[in-house]
């Protein structure tokens, strides 16, 4: 669990040197707007989602040997991501961002299943919260590094993107050296792998994934927050600092949210986080300056970071030991498939009706998802017990 957390730390340093610069690159260098940003981020997430189901199930069919897929995914992302510096059009950004997310698709479900494999159920919320905390800490580091270098050196925006290859290489090295998958001396029969059918999932997991899909239509890429800041006249360096602050606040509450979910239940913590998301997105639609943007972003990070670990832990609760990779593959698939229409919806509303209207609609959808979870897909089992239907 600790090694995988460190891998995410370094990978997100590399990733978040680049990600907050994408909307700025599109708006200032490539002359593209919110619709292009929505298409790029939505397509990238959808491409990743298609591979997550396959990679998660394949890791189950390999008897739980998940390291190879995880390493391959991190390598691919950290080769493609720095090449964004060489993109000459938004279409090329779309291609490279999609290749980056292919890598994410290969690694995400096997990596999440690795965490569940190595963690007792009674602390699984803590484990995923800890992992998300280091993930967000890496985002803080990446944004701060980019801000410092751009502010105090002669490095250009595109050169900064190329430099992201360094922490990316460290992430791959830590994973290769730090994770071992030894074959047991006395192997036992592997748990049965479930069929690759939607109907083979438990009814409780299916209901949860449907509600998660609804929420995905609200969860537009956080890069739109940076685009909002850019339209409000906030400088590039300040936007990087804002991104770092957003990630830092999520890191502060991610582990605590996981621990809380272990004690009081996953559902209660997820509903609280989704409700806070809805309120914050409505508030984003009302901000008119830098100070308001900072206040709402910090509140958003503190409140929504709580739900990140429990969202994944609940999938691990619903899945059997032999099908965790498959379950996490479905989890990433359904949320990813909704990403393209969600990104286009948000970007289109922004383009035709304005940023405020787009944030208002997303906030309303998030509130509906929270109500559906509480009223229709509520997990009935306490943490540490088998989840019921």
Q: What is the pLDDT of residue 383?
A: 45
Confidence label for 284 from pLDDT (cuts 50, 70 and 90): very high
DSSP state of 378: -
Indicate if the pLDDT at residue 141 is higher than 50: yes
Q: What is the pLDDT of residue 298?
A: 92
Indicate the pTM of the whole model.
0.68
Indicate if the pLDDT at residue 86 is higher than 80: yes
Q: What is the pLDDT of residue 270?
A: 87
Indicate if the pLDDT at residue 93 is higher than 80: yes
Confidence label for 368 from pLDDT (cuts 50, 70 and 90): very high
Confidence label for 282 from pLDDT (cuts 50, 70 and 90): very high
Task: Give the HSE-up count for residue 348: Cα atoms under 13 Å, Cβ half-sphere.
Answer: 8
Q: Which two tokens stand for residue 224?
A: 């739109």
Query: What 3-state class would DSSP assign to 335?
Result: helix
Q: What is the pLDDT of residue 386?
A: 37
Average pLDDT over residues 183-208: 65
**Domains of the chain, start order:** 2-178+201-375 (1.20.1250.20)
Indicate if the pLDDT at residue 365 is higher than 90: yes
> What gap in Å lies between CA 244 and CA 211, rounded to an integer?
30
pLDDT tens readout for residues 317-364:
776 655 667 777 788 777 777 777 887 888 889 888 888 999 999 999
**Residue 92, Cβ density class (10 Å: 0-12 exposed, 13-18 middle, ≥19 buried):** middle
Q: What is the pLDDT of residue 387?
A: 38
pLDDT exceeding 90 applies to what percent of the chain?
11
Q: What is the pLDDT of residue 64?
A: 64
Query: DSSP for 232-296?
Result: TT--HHHHHHHHHHHHHHHHHHHHHHHHHHHHH-HHHHHHHHHHHHHHHHHHHTT--SHHHHHHH
Average pLDDT over residues 139-151: 83
Indicate if the pLDDT at residue 194 is higher than 60: no
Indicate if the pLDDT at residue 193 is higher than 80: no
The helix-helix angle for 90-117 and 290-318 (nearest 10°) equals 50
Confidence label for 115 from pLDDT (cuts 50, 70 and 90): confident
pLDDT exceeding 70 applies to what percent of the chain?
89
Tell me the C-alpha to C-alpha distance, in Å, between residue 220 and each of 7, 121, 347, 354, 366. 25, 31, 9, 15, 11
Instruction: Choose the weakest-confidence range: 122-136, 179-193, 307-321.
Output: 179-193
Instruction: Choose the weakest-confidence range: 143-147, 293-297, 338-342.
Output: 338-342
Q: What is the pLDDT of residue 321?
A: 57
Most confident segment among 29-43, 125-139, 183-197, 229-243: 229-243
> What gap in Å lies between CA 12 and CA 141, rounded to an integer?
8
Q: What is the pLDDT of residue 185?
A: 44
Confidence label for 92 from pLDDT (cuts 50, 70 and 90): confident
Mean pLDDT for all residues in the chain: 80
Q: What is the pLDDT of residue 205?
A: 82
């Amino acid at each position: 669990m600790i090694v995988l957390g460190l891998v995410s730390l370094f990978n997100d340093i590399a990733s978040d040197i680049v990600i907050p610069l994408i909307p700025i690159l599109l708006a200032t260098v490539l002359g593209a707007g919110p619709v292009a940003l929505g298409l790029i981020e939505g397509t990238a997430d959808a491409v990743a989602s298609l591979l997550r189901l396959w990679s998660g199930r394949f890791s189950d069919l390999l008897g739980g040997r998940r390291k190879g897929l995880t390493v391959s995914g991190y390598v691919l992302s950290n080769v493609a991501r720095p090449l964004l510096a060489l993109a000459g059009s938004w279409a090329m950004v779309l291609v490279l961002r999609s290749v980056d997310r292919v890598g994410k698709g290969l690694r995400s479900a096997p990596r999440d299943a690795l965490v569940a494999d190595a963690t007792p159920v009674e602390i699984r919320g803590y484990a995923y919260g800890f992992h998300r905390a280091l993930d967000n800490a890496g985002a803080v580091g990446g944004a701060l590094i980019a801000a410092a270098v751009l502010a105090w050196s002669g490095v250009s925006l595109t050169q900064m993107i190329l430099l992201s290859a360094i922490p990316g290489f460290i992430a791959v090295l830590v994973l290769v050296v730090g994770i071992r998958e030894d074959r047991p001396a006395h192997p036992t029969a592997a748990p049965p792998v479930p069929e690759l059918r939607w109907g083979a999932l438990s009814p409780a997991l299916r209901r949860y994934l449907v509600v998660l899909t609804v929420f995905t239509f609200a969860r537009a890429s956080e890069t739109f927050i940076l685009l909002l800041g850019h339209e409000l006249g906030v400088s590039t360096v300040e936007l990087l600092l804002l991104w770092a602050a957003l990630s830092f606040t999520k890191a502060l509450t991610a582990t605590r949210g996981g621990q809380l979910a272990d004690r009081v239940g996953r559902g209660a913590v997820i509903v609280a986080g989704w409700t806070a998301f809805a309120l914050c997105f409505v508030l984003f639609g009302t901000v008119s300056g830098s100070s308001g943007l900072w206040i709402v972003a910090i509140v958003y990070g503190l409140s929504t970071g709580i739900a990140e670990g429990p969202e994944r832990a609940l999938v691990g609760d619903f899945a059997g030991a032999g099908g965790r990779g498959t379950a996490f593959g479905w989890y990433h698939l359904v949320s990813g498939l909704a990403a393209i229409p969600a990104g286009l919806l948000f970007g289109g509303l922004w383009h035709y009706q304005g940023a405020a209207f787009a944030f208002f609609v997303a906030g309303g959808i998030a509130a509906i998802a929270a109500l559906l979870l509480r009223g229709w897909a509520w997990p009935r089992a306490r943490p540490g017990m088998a989840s019921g239907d």
